[in-house]
Amino acid sequence: MQLARAIDDFAVHLTVERGYSPQTVRAYRSDLTGLASFAATRGVEETSGLSLEVLRDWLWDSSQHGLSKATLARRSASAKGFSAWVARQTGDDNDPAVRLRAPKADKMLPRVVNRSQIDALLARLAALAEDGDPGRVRDLAVIELLYATGIRVSELTGLDVDDVDLDRLTVRVLGKGAKERVVPFGVPAQTAVVDYLRRARPVFVTERSGPALLLGPRGARLGSRAVYGLVAGLLADIPGGGPSGPHALRHTAATHLLDGGADLRAVQELLGHASLGTTQIYTHVSTERLKESYRTAHPRA
């Protein structure tokens, strides 16, 4: 089977049978296209030519180009998933990627914005939105929803108007693997969304808007890149290391829930994590915050 054709078929499999998001499928395709390009330099253009040696050399070559351990681990996972699928398709018991190993990604605690910082940020956005500017009113609704629910940026931008129940204070979200869940939010987010629906969305709406909740200036569904730019700009002036994209607000929401006494499994359900282990990283964040408070406040720390 030609590598290029196999990658196309694998992408269809991930979309149709596994229910992966477009972003995840693009990441797989990007990794595997890179693998195919590297394999071609070794004279390999068929899936049957992929060997453990070729896969290892590809990862080694990637490391020599300065790619991070996290990227190498992702590429390894993409190759293993693809190789296993090819083996099933061809009925070949020899899967060369079974023994493929990549360096473990460095464990980094996610960035978390503290309570006073997030309160100040939201107050500033609310003040800016008072003049009724549609973009500012929408931006306040975006940030309030991200922080109130902890949903992913792709889940946020995928929301339709009917997904938000303003009476019950819940939002219906389609998460990874096309799994649906219902997430609660609070009164501040409700107020921001009601204001957006009343004062901003009617200004943006066009024939191309459809049922999309959040709209861009030309009436199309607001994209993830626009939300990333908004959040990164807002967090740029707030002290703290780590990434400044929308995921920082997801981390912040989860950590503040645990700091407030929320049950770990409840937080798992809210975030849509398949594994409790994924959620447990936020307990480490809370522990670090506790240690820092202790070191700062205790006379014998």
CA distance 8 to 3: 9
The neighbour count for residue 91, using CB atoms within 10 Å, is: 6
Instruction: From the candidates 152, 201, 251, 256, give the one annotated as an active-site residue.
Output: 152
CA distance 297 to 301: 8
CA distance 45 to 40: 6
Instruction: From the candidates 56, 75, 111, 247, give the one annotated as an active-site residue.
Output: 247
Does the annotation count 138 as an active-site position?
no
Q: Which two tokens stand for residue 20?
A: 């992966």
Instruction: From the candidates 13, 136, 176, 181, give the one annotated as an active-site residue.
Output: 176
CA distance 107 to 241: 14
Buried b (16+ CB within 10 A) or exposed e, 140-179: bbbbbbbbbbbbbbbbbbbbeeebbeeeebebebbbbeee
The SS3 of residue 249 is helix
Does the annotation count 152 as an active-site position?
yes
Instruction: From the candidates 56, 80, 250, 256, give the one annotated as an active-site residue.
Output: 250
Do residues 2 and 45 touch, judged by C-beta distance below 8 A? Answer: yes
The neighbour count for residue 180, using CB atoms within 10 Å, is: 10
Q: Which two tokens stand for residue 139?
A: 């931006």
Does the annotation count 228 as an active-site position?
no
Does the annotation count 29 as an active-site position?
no
Instruction: From the candidates 20, 28, 196, 282, give the one annotated as an active-site residue.
Output: 282
Does the annotation count 298 as an active-site position?
no
Which neighbouring-strand residues pair with 46?
A: 2
Does the annotation count 247 as an active-site position?
yes
| Residues noted as catalytic | 152, 176, 247, 250, 273, 282
